Amino acid sequence: MNEFRPASPEKPIVDDKPIIGGKSVGRTIPHDSAVGHVTGSAPYIDDLPRRVDELYVDFVGSPVASGAVTSLETEQASALDGVVAVFTYKDVGKHNVFGPLFCDEPFLAAEEVLYVGQPVVLIAAENETVLAEAKSLIRINVKETAPVLELEKAIASENFIGPKRQIGRGDAETAISGATHQLSGEFRSGGQEQFYLESQAAVAFPGEQGQLVVHSSTQNTTEIQTMVAEVLELQMHQVVCICKRMGGAFGGKETQAVIPALMAALVASKTGRAARVIYDKDTDMSVTGKRHPYLCRWRVGFEDNGQIVGLECDFFSDGGAAADLSTSVMERTLLHADNAYFIEHARFTGQVCRTNIPPNTAFRGFGGPQAVASTENIIQRVAEYLKVDALDVRLKNAYGTDDRNVTPYGQLLTGNHLTEIMQTLAQTSDYRQRQEAIAAQNETDPLWLRGLAMAPVKFGISFTSKFLNQANALVNVYTDGTVQVSTGGTEMGQGLNTKIRQIVADEFGIDWQNVILMPTSTEKNNNTSPTAASAGTDLNGAAAVNACREIRTRLAQFAAGLFASTDDGLIPSPDHICFEGGVVYDSRKPNETISFAELTLKARFERVDIGARGFYKTPGVDFNRETGKGNPFLYFTQGAAVAEVKIDRFTGDVSVPRVDLLMDIGKSINPGVDLGQITGGFIQGMGWATAECLVYGDDGRLLSHSPTTYKIPAITDVPIDFRCELFPNEDNLHCVRRSKAVGEPPLLLGVAAWAAVKHALAQLSSQLPGDVDPNLQLPATGEEVLRCLTEISAG
């Protein structure tokens, strides 16, 4: 058995002894944009004041999903009074095709179009009225070809993106064949719209010497800088990308912010005028990528006691018309197909398929939710077949602590609390008693059908591409004792800036209100990773800590000389200097203090540097995607949720009256922010699992392209009884202040609601002879549940 043990951190971020005077970390302080959010005063891209020379920019997209462009009619639009420029691929140059992993996505379509709405013609005008008229005058003539819109069609024609990948160990096929019981099937999980509140947006300002400043609603300022420079044939030092905040992102602005940024940058570069691109909601939903739909073909072998001895899963994802991040998303799917379970003989394969819809992209969970949903479907099926409680199957197969604790890719699972979390949650949620009560209710209630299920999660934290596990931070201390911090992390509402504010404040022993986070800019933080993979605080917070400690070391050396004197016989010792409560003192003379502000002023006059750039790289992560072995993650965030559902037997409508959730996020930096992330993430996952359904027409056009046709969870969908607790745990020594990442893991627990629906349906099908499985797919919408109810009734 291959086993890879995590390496020790090169420079531990977490000290065994706490920072003296640490008063901010662990407290619920307000999100740094909270007032701006609720009052509407927080500025976003479209709130930036317009320059007098600024142009309005929009595009005309492909009218069909697939075909050859025969001609473009742009003359009437170009001649319209108020139209400043009309651009096509011919105006872009030799770098019109780009991509984060594979160079296969056109900025503006050239000889062929690949999906409905794909940008073809770009227009810049003096005002919105002229812009709208110009768009109506553009004609894109296409010789249409038959699009590929179904996964099965792409699979049959081997229309793939990237190579097939595999992770596994043992001999799954032999183990399954030799097991007492075997089951197999197909499981589908649908896509999901990110539905951020601020649509894709960018503003570009031209400067001297060919320079451009691009304000972008992006999770990845460095990628915007890189792609703008590459496509426009500039050098990176000529481009600055700035992001103050985003009105949500959820992965949808990790790569997909590039095209609107390119639009604004191209116009600004060609015309010498400022340019602004703001997608409306319908356009944004129609032409941007989403969570990947998946098809999983699976086989499992198991024993009478529920022990899984062998598992095979073949995953196929719908990547859309270009690669985007699809192969990396699939990689994480394979790495999470085990979820919380030790499977001795396993084989997981993954293949991305190319279809004629917008290129699908990152979404909170990044392929993990599709894997976990597939595995939990299998767990439910095993329990249904054996007619036992699914929780017992989960506990039987859960990872161990002293043995059965190595993943299929060879990483030793340390800090495992999965069984403890599930058993604790089973007790606090009255899981066993409620199962009995629900079974009794279902036998007598002709109107409502109820279900209950628990789903655990083990989510790996780190980028699976080694080079992305790095960050830098710039910390500037001023002579009034206040601090500015700049990192490569972007704030999209998740509270990253607030947490770093607390961390930095405690490093200097000052009030958190004396620390402020500056807008993210490639001018201050270069070559940064996207704010993704739930690692924003881990990476950028650690980099900020390293910068602070460099400054603190200098200040401590300086302060040591101030406090020591020949009169008291004390030798200057930086080791005895304490930073606490806004003052600095020598622990040997605690009654003699100097304010932090006064110390910084004195330090400046003595030419002590009170600014620093910190750098951090995640230790011990290394994964070989060719062999499928290694340590892709620094640690795992764990948790479990129990969801109860109530189903209308006549319409299939699903409601979720109660959820109990328990998460291990280490020592919380900001409990209020973290609980917000956990509850919000769960609800978003529940929406994906039960309600959000993307519907495409036969022509490849998205039909559910607005809030009126696409249902995200509303406040009325939130469980009336929603209990969320943090699992007490301080054993994560790898991360800043023993915290754990919290952004993505809770979303995966939304699968518990889907599993509860499946449990409810199984109680009906169990009354039929044989093993009847209506094969519930995801999302469990009213239509899907009604289909299953009808099938069971007919069976």
Distance between CA 293 and CA 22 in Å, rounded? 45
Cα-Cα-Cα-Cα dihedral of 133, 135, 137, 142, to 10°?
-160
Separation between Cα atoms, residue 557 and residue 389, nearest integer Å? 63
- Enumerate the β-bridge partners of residue 186: 297
Sequence-distant (6+) residues with CB within 8 A of 130 are: 56, 80, 81, 82, 83
The closest of 536, 572, 598, 582 to 739, measured between CA atoms, is: 536
Say if residues 535 and 621 touch (Cβ distance below 8 Å): no
Q: How many CB atoms lie within 10 A of CB 653?
A: 14
Strands 629-631 and 622-624: antiparallel
Q: Which residue has the tokens 């504010």?
A: 501
Task: Retrieve residue 249's tokens.
Answer: 């992102």
Q: What angle do CA 332, 333, 337 make, to 5 degrees?
A: 120
The Cα 521–Cα 500 span in angstroms is 16
CA–CA distances in Å: residue 762 to residues 336, 391, 508? 26, 15, 57
Dihedral angle at the C-alpha atoms of 243, 247, 253, 257, nearest 10 degrees?
Answer: -60
Q: What is the largest CA-CA distance in the chain?
A: 96
Could you please report the per-residue DSSP string of 511-545? -GGGEEEPPEETTTS-SPPPS-TT-HIIIIIHHHH
Q: Position 561: which residue type?
A: G
Strand order, beta sheet including 239-243:
83-87, 119-125, 55-61, 275-278, 201-206, 212-216, 239-243, 520-521
Q: Which residues, in sequence order, are CB contacts of 198 under 8 Å at separation 6+?
A: 44, 45, 46, 217, 246, 247, 248
CA dist 559 and 365 (Å) reads: 47
Cα→Cα distances 227→45, 224, 458, 738, Å: 19, 5, 34, 36
Question: How many residues make up the chain in this entry?
Answer: 795
SS3 210: helix
Distance CA 425, CA 661 (A): 7
b or e along 48-82 (b: 16 or more beta carbons within 10 Å of the residue's beta carbon)? beeeeebbbbbbbbbbbbbbebeebebeebeebee
CA dist., res. 146 & res. 590, Å (int):
79
Cis peptide bond N-terminal to 779, omega within 30: yes
In 430-492, the DSSP E strands lie at: 448-461, 470-477, 483-487
Angstrom distance (rounded) from CA 462 to CA 458: 13
Catalytic residues: 744
**C-alpha separations of 4 from 270, 469, 621, 749 in Å:** 53, 18, 10, 28
